[in-house]
């Protein structure tokens, strides 16, 4: 067995097309994968705090959705759209709740300008941010990640054409393109907004994946796979993409933070999901005319946005470093 063979085996290439005698070689044992708890323990304090915050946002969003969709508001979280606290849908009468209330045990973060519970709206608003971030990340990772890995691997005319197309999309001011696309799709559902933002995320992911793919494609184990006659698509899916994926995923965290801000901008401009659905951006927009009376109603959703973006950036940054460290160890 040559040195090259040993190295190839050490990263567990199992080539079904390889000669039978090479299948019997003993691979070097892979280090045990760390458990999530171990990873959490490894984290610096900032990353731990950020992770906890992200888990809270994620859990809150899921909790709010389950409460609304499955349990018909049975869980102890107020209806985010119910106004004046005691509005009675049966009689149309408004209750005695006041708008712009300060924080209290009934309304942890107070009420907004039409007496809706701010805490409930922030929790429900997290769902929109979560979906936007996940769909755009999913879109970006799957489509952008694949195209990037592909063109970085096959190179040639495919790469030239694909990257030129991506450059064209990237060259167009993203927010303006987004505004135009959202205006075209007059129905502003969460799905449409998420898909539009996801589509615009593809070029960035493609670039990241291509860069990773270019590097990985020159690594010895890929060259070895080529040398032993493995089919290109098999190399792509078994050798290239798995090694590019950690980088793309960690980028997804940072990109997710960006798209949450983009959605906030859209909401602030009144171009995101339709009212009265709560989003952090439209909460800020609706409260801005009321700053002098109720500053807290701008502050709380802004804080949720800032903390989430900061946390995603921190965790994404940390994951990128981890991925880079693992890559260099290959």
Partner 1 sequence: MTRTLSKFLALLFTFAMIAAACGSDSSPDDATTDTTEDGGGGDDDGGSDVTTGDVDDDDTVVEADDETERSYGGSIAVGLEAEAVGLRPWEDACSSPCYNIFVTIYDKLMEQTIDGTYEGWLAEDITPSDDFTIWTMNLRPGVTFHNGVELTAQTIADMFPIQQEGSQSSSQIAASNLAGVEATGDLEVTYTLSQPNSAFPAFLSRVQLGAVFEPAAAAADLDGFSNEPVGTGPFVIESRDLDNETVVVRNGNYWGVDPQGNQLPFLDQISFRPIPDEGTRLDALLSGTVEAMQTLRQGTIRDARAAVEDGEDLTLLEFQGNNVGGGQFNVLVPPFDDVRVRRGLTQMNSQENVIDALGGTGISLPGTQWYSPDSVWYSQKVADAWPQFDFEAGSATLQEYIDDPERSDGKAPGEPIDVELSCPPDPTLIAAMQVIEQTWSATGNVNVNLTNYDQQTHINYALGAENGFVGEHGAHCWRWSDDNDPSVGINPFLAPPTPEIAEAAGIPDIVSPLNFSNWFNAEAFGAAVAATQTDNFEERYALYEQIQLAIAEEVPIWYSGHTATMIGTVSNMQGLNGWHLPNGTVGIGFTNAEGRWAEVWLN
Per CB under 8 A, residues contacting partner 1 are 44-46, 49-50, 81-84, 87, 89-94, 98-103, 110, 113-114, 269-270, 274-276, 282, 285-296, 299-300, 303, 306-307, 310, 314
246 neighbors 323 (Cβ within 8 angstroms): yes
Nearest distance, CB of residue 124 and partner 1, angstroms:
14
Q: Which of 66, 86, 85 is nearest to 75 (CA)?
A: 66
The SS3 call for residue 88 is: strand
Token pair belonging to 16:
């079904």
Nearest distance, CB of residue 175 and partner 1, angstroms:
16
Nearest distance, CB of residue 115 and partner 1, angstroms:
9
Q: Which is nearer to partner 1, 231 or 288 (CB)?
A: 288
Nearest distance, CB of residue 170 and partner 1, angstroms:
27
Q: Which is nearer to partner 1, 10 or 79 (CB)?
A: 79
Q: Which is nearer to partner 1, 163 or 283 (CB)?
A: 283
Nearest distance, CB of residue 195 and partner 1, angstroms:
20
Q: Which is nearer to partner 1, 243 or 272 (CB)?
A: 272
- Residue whose structure tokens are 């990257």: 163
Q: Which is nearer to partner 1, 232 or 270 (CB)?
A: 270
Give how far Cα 56 sits from Cα of 59, 61, 155, Å.
5, 8, 43
Nearest distance, CB of residue 281 and partner 1, angstroms:
12
Listing DSSP states for 208-251 in one string gives HHHHHHHHHHTSHHHHHHHHTT--HHHHIIIIIHHHHHHHHHHH
CB atoms closer than 10 angstroms to residue 289 = 10
CA atoms in the 13 A half-sphere facing the CB of 221: 20
Listing DSSP states for 159-191 in one string gives HHHHHHHHHHHHHS-HHHHHHHHHHHS-S--HH
DSSP state, residue 129: H
Q: Which is nearer to partner 1, 258 or 300 (CB)?
A: 300
Token pair belonging to 103:
């924080």
HEC letters along 22-62: HHCCCCCCCCCCCCHHHHHHHCCHHHHHHHHHHHHHHHHHH
- Residue whose structure tokens are 């339709």: 274
Nearest distance, CB of residue 85 and partner 1, angstroms:
12
Nearest distance, CB of residue 252 and partner 1, angstroms:
19
CB atoms closer than 10 angstroms to residue 306 = 12
Q: Which is nearer to partner 1, 222 or 296 (CB)?
A: 296
Q: Which is nearer to partner 1, 49 or 142 (CB)?
A: 49
């Amino acid at each position: 067995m040559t040195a090259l063979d040993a190295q190839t085996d050490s990263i567990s290439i199992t080539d079904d097309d390889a000669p039978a005698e090479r299948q019997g070689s003993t691979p070097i044992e892979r280090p045990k994968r760390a458990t999530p708890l171990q990873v959490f323990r490894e984290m610096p304090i900032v990353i731990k705090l950020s992770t906890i915050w992200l888990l809270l946002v994620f859990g809150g969003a899921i909790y709010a959705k389950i409460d609304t969709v499955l349990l018909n508001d049975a869980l102890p979280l107020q209806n985010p759209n119910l106004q004046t606290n005691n509005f009675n849908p049966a009689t149309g009468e408004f209750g005695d709740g006041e708008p712009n209330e300060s924080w209290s045990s009934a309304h942890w973060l107070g009420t907004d300008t039409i007496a809706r519970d701010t805490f409930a709206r922030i929790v429900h608003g997290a769902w929109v941010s979560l979906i936007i971030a996940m769909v755009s990340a999913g879109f970006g990772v799957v489509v952008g990640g694949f195209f990037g890995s592909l063109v970085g691997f096959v190179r040639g005319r495919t790469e030239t054409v694909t990257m030129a197309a991506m450059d064209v999309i990237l060259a167009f001011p993203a927010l303006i393109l987004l505004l135009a696309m959202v205006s075209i799709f007059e129905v502003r559902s969460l799905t449409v907004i998420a898909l539009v933002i996801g589509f615009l995320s593809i070029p960035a992911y493609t670039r990241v994946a291509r860069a990773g793919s270019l590097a990985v494609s020159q690594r010895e184990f890929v060259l070895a796979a080529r040398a032993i006659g493995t089919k290109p698509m098999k190399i792509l899916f078994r050798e290239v993409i798995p090694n590019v994926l950690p980088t793309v995923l960690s980028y997804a965290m940072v990109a997710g933070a960006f798209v949450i801000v983009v959605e906030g901008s859209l909401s602030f401009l009144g171009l995101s999901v339709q009212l009265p659905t709560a989003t952090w951006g439209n909460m800020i927009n609706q409260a801005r005319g009321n700053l002098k009376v109720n500053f807290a109603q701008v502050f709380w959703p802004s804080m949720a946005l800032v903390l989430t973006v900061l946390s995603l950036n921190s965790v994404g940054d940390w994951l990128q470093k981890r991925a880079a460290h693992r890559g260099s160890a290959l």
